[in-house]
Structure 1
Amino acid sequence: MSDSVLQLLPGQTPPLAIITPTDQRGVLYIITALCLATSIVSLLIRAYVRVEFSQSYGKDDISVAAAFILLIVQSCLIFLAASKGVGEALSDIASGDLLSLQKTYYAANLLYIATLWATKISTLFLILRLAVQRIHTRTTTAVLGVTGILGLVSFLLAALDCNLNAPWIFINGQCSREGAHWRAIAAFDIITELLPFGTLCFIINSVQIPRSKKLAIVAGFAFRLLLIFPLAFRLHYVLASLHAHDITLRQDRIVINTQVELVTAMVAATVPCLRPFMAATYTTWGGRVDTVSGSEYNKSGSNSGKKHTTSGSKSVLSSLRIGRSKKGVDELTSRDDISLEPMSQSWSAKGMDGNQTERHPSTIRKQSGDDSGAMNQADDQQSLGSHDSQRMIIRRDVEWNVRFENRPDLNGTGIAR
């Protein structure tokens, strides 16, 4: 549209694109930019979760990073193809731009396949982390291999079109097998979405965790199934464009569904890594876990903002010593003294300045008239300092050393009552 039709004020420049019935490039710019921005935010969230929770970077993170790089290049190619005429009426495109338009759009479609399958591989690597038994690992590895093979076949189907000398030609091209190629690619896409989800359900079903956590895990991975909808719409518009009179204009809806499918795949790769989901799936199966000691903040004095780390001894062994004399009978009276003395226990707290202090518990003496729950409360208080309890196993080791001692009564008989 010329500047004479579009009234511009002094100092204004024409817009990048004007949306008209014969020019939908502005829609492509907006959708592609929004999808790319959403993918960037999704990747930043994933990176933040990894850094915040000190998670180790694995193959799934590498696959997501590779998919993100491919997505950036693919989005740039879509911008370039739209500037050449994709989404515009064929009659309005300069003849000198037709060849570069088709090559750019051809490369964007190839990167679409590569980006989509990179996110699938990332999901399978994440599922492989959850594998508990050997059969789970083997099943996930087999699905990973099938996904890789189908991804390679899909890439070749999109790359090797009817005309092997110039496979990027789609304007005025005569290819009866092009529709079959994209049908096969869509079928492989759906299969490689259902297989990982079924594998996850197989793994989760054999794990003894609460049902609520199982549902949280399944829901996180089920988000990927949403990309089947833009995939189906994309296939519909691809098949419809093969018989369209204005094939470049009809590419607009194909591009829109392509970008929506890619951003859904990128977001789906991040959903399982969100904090609530990580809290539900962090079970430490299949590897060694370093026990992390608790942390607290000192709220008194000038150290109110300093963080201290408290580490307890590996076990708390207590000895209950009840004295008795050589004379008399072995029985406890209401006047006996009970002392609870830890045999081996210490607490150490190390502040920000590197100074380390130790505190040893003092002897707790209980008279017969005291509350019967005082000793249990003291023992529970000691167990709070223990940071070596194993994950998913609650174990308490207590060792008692009992000694009887008779105390002389008021009459001096030496016999305990």
Structure 2
Amino acid sequence: MVVVTDTNRSPVIGILAWLFLVISILAGAARLVIKYAIARAFTMDDYLISVAMALSVLQTACVSIAARHGLGQEQSASSHGQLEAALKSVYAAEMLYVACLTFAKLSALMFMTFLMQRTRTVEWGLVVLISAWAVVAEFAVAFQCDLPRPWSWVDNKCFDREAWWQFFGAMNVLTELALIVVPSLLVLQIQMAVARKTVVIGCFLTRLLVVGAIVTELVYRDRSKNAQDPMLAVWVVTICAQLVQCLAIVAACIPHLKPFMDGLQSTGLRLYYLPGERSRRTDYAYGSKEQSVGHELSGLAGVVNRTTVLAGQRQRDWDDALSQTSQSRIIRETKTWVVEEQYHPEAAVSRITDNASSVSHGLPESTTSTTD
């Protein structure tokens, strides 16, 4: 039985790494189940978060292997073969860590485009920024040390790893803040109850937990630099990185939980295509049997929705023209109103039809009769 001591923290790394993985997988599974129960289909943001979860499984496995071969304990306690296996596992885990965070961010960004029902310049800018950040990070991790052993950061010549990871973490924080601010500004423009608006924005603010974990990771990275035994000193940094990865996936799944979606749909937004529904653009129209006039209704600021009001006018046939009763002089007119509100996100549209009751309008019946 392995005992946790001041010189051996590897069991802590293994236990917490798998615990954080289970939490993230449960959050992702709940999101996918809820999405499929509502829409009976998956969209691009679901595929992206699924890739992020698969990468997190591989990354956690690499961290677990590294912990079994010497990560988190004194370097002198590991043989050369064990140390080499641990360094290679850490090398692979770092590359998978960058990829996992990237796909989790892109999944959250794709969900934002569903809310806005279009991809604006700001969203394209975030896609380019996150993608460029990921590509640069992957190359930096891949070639952090001299070839042919780029994974050997303990005893090989490498660039300033501490400065690089500080830069990586700073960009990580900035992108997380962007994923909070942009959708929150969208929700602020929607006309809805303050309580519901607070709940919706609060769901986006849960990404602040990711920011807090990143800052904690950066603090411990700074404390562990120039350590005499780097394999032992980085155990807290490794746990913080696993926490960041877990929270990044969980934060991308929270907006898909049912209470959040109910809050959004109360604003008039529909997030998914429902079975049998299709998207189409309509106008506000009114008229009689033979002609109608259409007017387009504008949506709320920042939201592309369309409302259709159909006014059908039907006039009942007159009573027998030869009838001399008072009923023959009553004009009856029936109007039927159909209100249809339609939403046109790329992967979500719904149609709500309210049929108002028909109303008859006529002249009051005379109490006296006139004889011709």
Q: Determine the C-alpha separation between the residues in 2 that align with 1:162 and 1:242.
A: 16
Q: Is the 8 A contact 2:10 2:235 kept in 1?
A: yes
**Equivalent residue of 1:249, what SS?**
helix
Length, aligned pairs only: 327
Tell me by how many angstroms 1:162 deviates.
Answer: 3.9
Tell me by how many angstroms 1:316 deviates.
Answer: 8.9
Tell me by how many angstroms 1:285 deviates.
Answer: 6.3
Q: Is the 8 A contact 1:25 1:82 kept in 2?
A: yes
**Equivalent residue of 1:163, what SS?**
coil
For residue 100 of structure 2, the aligned residue among 103, 106, 115 is 115
Q: Is the 8 A contact 1:328 1:406 kept in 2?
A: yes
1:224 paired residue number:
207
2:130 paired residue number:
147
Q: Determine the C-alpha separation between the residues in 1 that align with 2:164 and 2:37.
A: 44
Q: Determine the C-alpha separation between the residues in 2 that align with 1:198 and 1:343.
A: 47
Change in CA separation of 1:93 and 1:269 when aligned onto 2, cut-off 3 Å: same
State the one-letter code of the partner of 2:87. Q
Tell me by how many angstroms 1:404 deviates.
Answer: 7.5
Change in CA separation of 1:261 and 1:401 when aligned onto 2, cut-off 3 Å: same
Uncovered stretches (5+) of structure 2, i.e. residues with no partner? 278-309, 343-350
Tell me by how many angstroms 1:90 deviates.
Answer: 1.1
> Which has the larger displacement, 21-30 or 277-286?
277-286
Uncovered stretches (5+) of structure 1, i.e. residues with no partner? 1-14, 293-313, 333-339, 345-382, 408-412
Deviations 1:297-318 (A, max 9, x none): xxxxxxxxxxxxxxxxx99988
- Normalised by the size of structure 1, how large is the TM-score? 0.68
2:283 paired residue number:
none
1:195 paired residue number:
178
Q: Is the 8 A contact 2:40 2:275 kept in 1?
A: no
The reply to whether residue 161 of structure 1 matches residue 144 of structure 2 is yes
Q: Is the 8 A contact 1:49 1:274 kept in 2?
A: yes
Change in CA separation of 1:109 and 1:128 when aligned onto 2, cut-off 3 Å: same
2:88 paired residue number:
103
Q: Determine the C-alpha separation between the residues in 2 that align with 1:238 and 1:20.
A: 21
Q: Determine the C-alpha separation between the residues in 1 that align with 2:326 and 2:100.
A: 86
Q: Is the 8 A contact 1:319 1:401 kept in 2?
A: no
Q: Is the 8 A contact 1:323 1:405 kept in 2?
A: no
For residue 75 of structure 1, the aligned residue among 38, 53, 60 is 60
1:87 paired residue number:
72
State the one-letter code of the partner of 2:204. F
For residue 210 of structure 1, the aligned residue among 174, 193, 203 is 193
Q: Percent identity over the alignment?
A: 23
Larger radius of gyration: 1
Q: Is the 8 A contact 2:102 2:134 kept in 1?
A: yes
**Equivalent residue of 1:248, what SS?**
helix
State the one-letter code of the partner of 2:30. I
RMSD (Å) for aligned C-alpha atoms: 3.8
State the one-letter code of the partner of 1:193. E
State the one-letter code of the partner of 2:106. I
2:154 paired residue number:
171
Tell me by how many angstroms 1:96 deviates.
Answer: 2.1
State the one-letter code of the partner of 1:60. D
1:54 paired residue number:
39
Tell me by how many angstroms 1:239 deviates.
Answer: 3.0
Change in CA separation of 1:389 and 1:104 when aligned onto 2, cut-off 3 Å: closer
Tell me by how many angstroms 1:48 deviates.
Answer: 1.7
Tell me by how many angstroms 1:262 deviates.
Answer: 0.9
The reply to whether residue 326 of structure 1 matches residue 324 of structure 2 is yes
Q: Determine the C-alpha separation between the residues in 1 that align with 2:124 and 2:57.
A: 29
| Pairs within 5 Å for 1:276-355 | 276-282=259-265, 283-284=268-269, 326=324
Tell me by how many angstroms 1:144 deviates.
Answer: 1.5
Tell me by how many angstroms 1:249 deviates.
Answer: 1.1
Tell me by how many angstroms 1:97 deviates.
Answer: 1.4
**Equivalent residue of 1:209, what SS?**
coil
1:21 paired residue number:
6
1:5 paired residue number:
none
Tell me by how many angstroms 1:166 deviates.
Answer: 2.1
For residue 254 of structure 2, the aligned residue among 271, 287, 293 is 271
| Pairs within 5 Å for 1:253-268 | 253-268=236-251
Q: Determine the C-alpha separation between the residues in 2 that align with 1:148 and 1:164.
A: 26
Change in CA separation of 1:98 and 1:286 when aligned onto 2, cut-off 3 Å: closer
1:243 paired residue number:
226
Deviations 1:27-76 (A, max 9, x none): 11210121111112111211221122126421111110000000000011
Q: Determine the C-alpha separation between the residues in 2 that align with 1:288 and 1:83.
A: 47
Q: Determine the C-alpha separation between the residues in 2 that align with 1:330 and 1:341.
A: 14
Change in CA separation of 1:187 and 1:328 when aligned onto 2, cut-off 3 Å: closer
**Equivalent residue of 1:109, what SS?**
helix
Deviations 1:80-101 (A, max 9, x none): 1111110111111112212121
> Which has the larger displacement, 63-72 or 273-282?
273-282
Deviations 1:262-313 (A, max 9, x none): 1111111110001011112233469987898xxxxxxxxxxxxxxxxxxxxx
1:41 paired residue number:
26
**Equivalent residue of 1:243, what SS?**
coil
State the one-letter code of the partner of 1:25. S
Q: Determine the C-alpha separation between the residues in 2 that align with 1:268 and 1:64.
A: 11
State the one-letter code of the partner of 1:147. I
